[in-house]
């Protein structure tokens, strides 16, 4: 199969592979510990693990877009900030 029309680069492939691994990991986690552990955090509504993953991915996208607009193309610090944000979401939301 010729996928050259898709303009795959290593960062693009790594991004989609990471999303796939996160979803598979969450599926395995749900299989071994069903229920999603719903809880009420700082947002004052009930969230499950899947909700917290979605919130962290959405927030990370906004962090990266803001970083690109305000700082520039060096995204390593934005990645570090996104990881800290995701840890905070899973801990407190």
pLDDT for res 70: 96
Contact 93, 55 (CB under 8 A): yes
pLDDT at 23 over 90: yes
In the chain, domain spans: 8-32+40-92
pLDDT beyond 70 at 1: no
Residue 3 has pLDDT above 70, yes or no: no
Q: What is the pTM of this model?
A: 0.82
Q: Which of 2-6, 11-15, 47-51, 70-74 has the lowest mean pLDDT?
A: 2-6
Q: Flag whether pLDDT at 84 surpasses 90.
A: yes
């Amino acid at each position: 199969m010729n996928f050259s029309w898709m303009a795959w680069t290593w960062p693009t492939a790594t991004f989609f592979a990471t999303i796939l691994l996160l979803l598979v990991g969450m599926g395995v986690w749900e299989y071994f510990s069903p229920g999603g552990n719903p809880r009420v955090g700082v947002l004052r509504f009930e969230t499950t693990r899947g909700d917290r993953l979605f919130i962290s991915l959405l927030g990370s996208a906004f962090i990266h877009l803001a970083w690109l607009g305000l700082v520039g193309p060096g995204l390593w610090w934005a990645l570090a900030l996104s990881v800290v944000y995701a840890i905070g979401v899973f801990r407190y939301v």
